[in-house]
Structure 1
Amino acid sequence: MTDHRPWIYGTDHDDPNPRTPTAGHVYVELVGGPLDGQLLDVTGFRSDERADGALLISPHGAYGSGGRSDYEPRDDPGRWEWQGDTP
């Protein structure tokens, strides 16, 4: 049986539950780009950090393992959209 829950960005490769959100945490869905469909835990982000979005390490982006993908909030505060990749 395949688990269809989204992967949580930043979970360790050996995490036994990489698709299980932590109770009491706040997540946004990453939309588009190399991290499409993953959840990002924004619990510790200040409101200004949430407004700015994040550059996330993305080994599958345009710049390989050293690159980052830019995700920013748009109309829906629960979804951050991909803006492109950067070295």
Structure 2
Amino acid sequence: MRVYGHNPSDPQQGPRPGREYVELHGGPLDGQLYDVTGMTPANQRDGALLITEQGAYGAGGRADYALGEQAGRWEWLGDVP
């Protein structure tokens, strides 16, 4: 499974021991892992705007992901410029 922010050609693109991840569900980053190591529970509830080239706004656009109902998973809320 690929970790968000790692180059797809990087042989070390998978999860690393000792790190905490959530799975991104839906949208352009569906199925990728996002490293939340060190994030407070409050920050995790806030979610993140993640840069993606695959979203509705192309290069430099962002995909909005936030804590979902299922533990360990963030849901896609939509794309923003």
Question: TM over 0.5: same fold?
Answer: yes
RMSD: 1.2
Task: Return the alpha-carbon distance in structure 1 between the equivalents of residues 51 and 25 of structure 2.
Answer: 15
1:40 lines up with 2:40 in the alignment: no
TM-score, normalised relative to structure 2: 0.92
Map of 2:51 onto structure 1: 57
Q: Secondary structure at the match of 2:45?
A: helix
Q: State the percentage of identical aligned residues.
A: 56
Q: Which residue of 23, 32, 38 corresponds with 1:29?
A: 23
1:8 lines up with 2:3 in the alignment: yes
Structure with the greater alpha carbon radius of gyration:
1
Give a deviation string over 1:11-67, Cα, whole Å, max 9, x none: 13552221x211111000000000000000100212211011100001000000110
Map of 2:61 onto structure 1: 67
TM-score, normalised relative to structure 1: 0.86
Paired positions, count: 81
